[in-house]
């Protein structure tokens, strides 16, 4: 049995549970009301915790693995191993200053008061840049501190940036990119490592599928070569003759981020009747 710690409530909670469901791991839906619950069809026990507590639980071995933001894992300085980034909970950690303040570079932070909930990460950044500043550690609503003259700058999580804007702040230093990731305890026995490998195999299949689309299209044979050059595919596209002479059906897999660009090129090259579908799992 593998014990997994996930966030009880908050930005990573839904993403973590959905990921497990997509991996075919089911559990009671009211499970989250409790401190822990067992999966119904995989040797997995889940602990629901505050995200800040997850790295320590994994380090101590109370949980074998945990899903937590890289920002939180790094700030905790827990001695745990990152196994797999998950592609959700993406954000950045940045320094922001009041928007009208002149800012020419990191040296302008010298002797300033910087409010943050991430003192360790901030200290590292300042040390790296040989700047000494006063770090004011506070646990929430960091973004309001410059407005009430409690700080000259802040170091906080940014996603869209709208919280900064609505508090009259501007992002001046991007310190770190972060996303949710699976972390593990350093000393897992071989049985647990095998379960973790199985889980990661499933997660990778799910996440790869999310980044790709399956595409089917028809093309006149004389344009086949040109169309196939556009399609990268996993190996090469599958080509099948259509009932109508002189035409072929082409099947391939394309990456989501190149999707519209490729569709346009395919149309320009003479492809017709394009069908695009989601892929549920992708195992290479």
For ligand PRT, which is the closer residue by CB, 17 or 158? 158
Residue 69 as a binder of ligand PRT (CB under 6 A): the answer is yes
How do beta strands 65-69 and 180-184 pair? antiparallel
CB atoms within 10 A of CB 96: 26
Q: How many CA atoms lie within 13 A of 101 on its CB side?
A: 19
Chain positions 218 to 257 lying near ligand PRT, rule: CB under 6 A, are: none
Residue 51 as a binder of Zn ion (CB under 5 A): the answer is yes
* Residue 11, binding choice from ligand PRT, Zn ion, none, Cβ under 5 to 8 Å by partner class: ligand PRT
The Cα 258–Cα 273 span in angstroms is: 19
Residue 11 as a binder of ligand PRT (CB under 6 A): the answer is yes
Residue 175 as a binder of ligand PRT (CB under 6 A): the answer is no
User: Do the beta carbons of residue 69 and residue 16 sit within 8 Å?
Assistant: no
* Residue 159, binding choice from Zn ion, ligand PRT, none, Cβ under 5 to 8 Å by partner class: ligand PRT
For ligand PRT, which is the closer residue by CB, 7 or 37? 7
For ligand PRT, which is the closer residue by CB, 64 or 143? 143
Q: Where are the alpha helices (DSSP H) in the chain?
A: 13-22, 54-60, 70-76, 119-128, 162-166, 190-210, 224-230, 259-268
Residue 66 as a binder of ligand PRT (CB under 6 A): the answer is no
The Cα 143–Cα 116 span in angstroms is: 9
Residue 86 as a binder of ligand PRT (CB under 6 A): the answer is no
CB atoms within 10 A of CB 109: 24
* Residue 163, binding choice from ligand PRT, Zn ion, none, Cβ under 5 to 8 Å by partner class: ligand PRT
For ligand PRT, which is the closer residue by CB, 70 or 248? 70
The Cα 122–Cα 116 span in angstroms is: 8
User: Kindly report the CA angle at 207 between 206 and 210, in degrees rounded to 5?
Assistant: 90
Instruction: Give least dist CB 274 to Zn ion, A.
Output: 45
Residue 75 as a binder of ligand PRT (CB under 6 A): the answer is no
User: Do the beta carbons of residue 6 and residue 16 sit within 8 Å?
Assistant: yes
For ligand PRT, which is the closer residue by CB, 3 or 7? 7
Residue 55 as a binder of ligand PRT (CB under 6 A): the answer is no
For ligand PRT, which is the closer residue by CB, 45 or 52? 52
Instruction: Give 92-113 as a DSSP string.
Output: EEEEEEETTS---SGGGGTT-E
Residue 52 as a binder of Zn ion (CB under 5 A): the answer is yes
Q: Tokens 């230093």 identify what position?
A: 173
Binding site for Zn ion (CB under 5 A): 51-52
Residues that bind ligand PRT (CB under 6 A): 7, 9-12, 50-52, 69, 71-72, 89, 91, 143, 156-163, 178
């Amino acid at each position: 049995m593998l014990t997994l710690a996930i966030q009880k409530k908050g930005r990573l909670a839904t993403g973590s549970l959905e990921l497990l469901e997509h991996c075919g791991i089911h559990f009671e839906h009211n499970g989250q009301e409790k401190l822990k619950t067992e999966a119904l069809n995989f040797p997995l026990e889940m602990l629901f915790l505050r995200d800040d507590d997850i790295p320590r639980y994994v380090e101590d071995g109370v949980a074998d693995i945990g899903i937590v933001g890289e920002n939180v894992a790094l700030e905790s300085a827990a001695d745990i191993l990152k196994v797999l980034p998950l592609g959700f909970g993406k954000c950045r950690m940045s320094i922001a200053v009041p928007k009208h303040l002149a800012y020419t570079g990191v040296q302008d932070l010298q002797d300033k008061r910087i409010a943050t909930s991430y003192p360790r990460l901030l200290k590292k950044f300042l040390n790296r840049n040989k700047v000494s500043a006063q770090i004011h550690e506070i646990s929430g609503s960091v973004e309001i501190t410059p407005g009430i003259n409690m700080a000259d700058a802040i170091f906080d999580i940014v996603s869209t940036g709208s919280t900064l804007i609505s508090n009259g702040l501007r992002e001046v230093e991007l310190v770190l990119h972060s996303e949710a990731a699976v972390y593990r305890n350093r000393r897992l026995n071989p049985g647990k490592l095998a379960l973790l490998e199985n889980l990661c195999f499933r997660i990778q299949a799910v996440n790869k599928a999310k980044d790709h689309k399956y595409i089917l299209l028809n093309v006149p044979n004389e344009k086949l070569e040109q169309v196939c050059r556009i399609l990268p595919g996993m190996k090469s596209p599958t080509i099948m003759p259509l009932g109508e002479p002189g035409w072929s059906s082409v099947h391939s897999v394309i990456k989501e981020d190149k999707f519209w660009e490729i569709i346009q090129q395919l149309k320009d090259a003479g492809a017709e009747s394009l069908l695009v579908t989601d892929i549920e799992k992708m195992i290479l």
